[in-house]
């Protein structure tokens, strides 16, 4: 298991911030000097924070005329060499998908933040996790992926947004921070990461234009490829890079198991809760309620939704113990849990996988999750008899 991106500060350095504010401040400290966005709830604090701070930091801030315009400005700023970012909430992210696909096809490092809300359509302004498929399956047209980071706290909003810029540069691809309205609007103490030294940022010898003093033709950046054989070769090379990302950048957290993470087999839990973001916080409360009743509950939380930690979760699935998926949608994240169970191998028992899902901005409660745990285990016990 890899953690990465943790701020190293003393406890007395904590500041009280909303998740949205922590995302914006971490972006500034990560060297983001170009932000383009359009207001939408519940991520409004990000654009407001950037409007207040970015120009004084020597950067460029533009409230664009639309979400479509803002993602294309991010494309241009990244192609010119800037660490660039945009943010929005669910309907706005849908409008940005074409530009995200263009950035992926042009191998441009960009950071996109989605503080998601209920849908489909305009939906509600309440928090939801129903953008999971959109985020983890590319979202736009064509063969591509985005690295997707899912914070569960204000601290992780800062840590993971800071990390997002490094990952985007390292692999030259879009990285999405997928939060939700609860995380974005929650206020907690946070240790902010240190500001980066601009001189330490990786070089960008691929940026567009003609460099003064260099004897070379101007560079162009495009996602266009009119020769099918060449286009396929470019796409295959990109997918080879994705395999490296799967091997080196998969992140997760597991608790409630007898064997430590990294080599654990899932032993010691009667049932596993699989959840991310706000749902993982609810799962923790349910785990504590269960412990009072002598029920051993494990929690598996992916931090990278792509690459998804299939191998780690498959070890838990191989025990055959039930898995309860808790998500604020009606069955998206659960599909990756099922794929992880399939990866456990043909000789392994198939665990029963249950879904507790809500939609439209409804949030599961700790008591509701605990009641479902009890129901599943009682049913299982009755079946075994």
Q: Work out whether the CA dihedral 158, 164, 169, 175 comes out positive or negative.
A: negative
CA dist., res. 51 & res. 209, Å (int): 28
Residue range 11-248, CATH number = 3.40.50.970
Q: What pLDDT shows up at residue 231?
A: 97
Instruction: Give the residue-averaged pLDDT of 184-207.
Output: 93
pTM: 0.93
Beta-strand ranges (E) seen in 3-155 are 15-18, 34-37, 60-63, 84-88, 110-116, 147-149
Q: What pLDDT shows up at residue 198?
A: 87
Over residues 206-254, the pLDDT tens digits come to 998 766 666 667 788 999 999 999 999 999 999 999 999 999 999 999 9
Over residues 29-79, the pLDDT tens digits come to 999 999 999 999 999 999 999 999 999 999 999 999 999 999 999 999 999
Domains 11-248 and 252-384 share a fold: yes
Task: Domain ranges for the chain, please list them.
Answer: 11-248, 252-384
Q: What pLDDT shows up at residue 259?
A: 45
Q: So what CATH class is 252-384?
A: alpha beta
Over residues 302-344, the pLDDT tens digits come to 999 999 999 999 999 999 999 999 999 999 999 999 999 998 7
Owner of token pair 């608790």: 255
Instruction: Give the residue-averaged pLDDT of 145-158.
Output: 98
Neighbour tally for 303: CB within 10 Å: 26
Owner of token pair 């309860």: 324
């Amino acid at each position: 298991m890899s953690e990465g991106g943790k701020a190293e500060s003393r406890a007395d350095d904590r500041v009280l911030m909303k998740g949205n504010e922590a995302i914006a401040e971490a972006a500034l400290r990560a060297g983001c000097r170009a932000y383009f966005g359009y207001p939408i709830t519940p991520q409004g604090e990000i654009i407001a924070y950037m409007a207040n701070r970015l120009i004084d930091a020597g950067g460029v801030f533009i409230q664009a005329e639309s979400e479509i315009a803002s993602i294309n400005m991010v494309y241009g700023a990244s192609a010119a060499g800037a660490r660039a970012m945009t943010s929005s909430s669910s309907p706005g992210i849908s409008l940005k998908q074409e530009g995200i696909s263009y950035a992926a096809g042009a191998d441009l490092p960009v950071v996109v933040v989605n503080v998601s809300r209920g849908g489909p359509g305009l939906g509600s302004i309440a928090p939801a996790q129903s953008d999971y498929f959109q985020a983890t399956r590319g979202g736009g047209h064509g063969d591509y992926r985005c690295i997707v980071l899912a914070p569960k706290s204000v601290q992780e909003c800062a840590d993971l947004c800071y990390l997002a810029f490094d990952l985007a540069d390292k692999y030259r691809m879009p990285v999405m921070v997928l939060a939700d309205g609860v995380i974005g609007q929650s206020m907690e103490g946070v240790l902010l990461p240190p500001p980066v030294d601009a001189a330490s940022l990786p070089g960008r010898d691929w940026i567009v234009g003609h460099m003064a003093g260099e004897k070379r033709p101007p560079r162009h950046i495009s996602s266009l490829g009119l020769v099918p054989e060449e286009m396929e070769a470019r796409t295959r090379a990109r997918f080879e890079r994705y395999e490296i990302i799967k091997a080196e950048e998969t992140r997760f957290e597991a608790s409630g198991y007898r064997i430590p993470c990294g080599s654990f087999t899932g032993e010691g839990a009667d049932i596993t809760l699989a959840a991310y973001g706000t749902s993982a916080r609810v799962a923790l409360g349910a785990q504590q309620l269960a412990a009072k009743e002598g029920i051993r509950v494990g929690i598996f939380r992916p931090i990278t939704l792509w690459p998804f930690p299939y191998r780690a979760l498959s070890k838990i699935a191989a025990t055959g113990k039930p898995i309860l998926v808790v998500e604020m949608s009606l069955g998206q994240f659960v599909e990756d849990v099922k794929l992880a169970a399939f990866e456990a191998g043909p000789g392994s028992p198939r665990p029963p996988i249950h879904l507790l899902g809500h939609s439209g901005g409804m949030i599961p409660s700790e008591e509701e999750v605990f009641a479902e745990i009890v129901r599943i285990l009682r049913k299982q016990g009755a079946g075994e008899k």
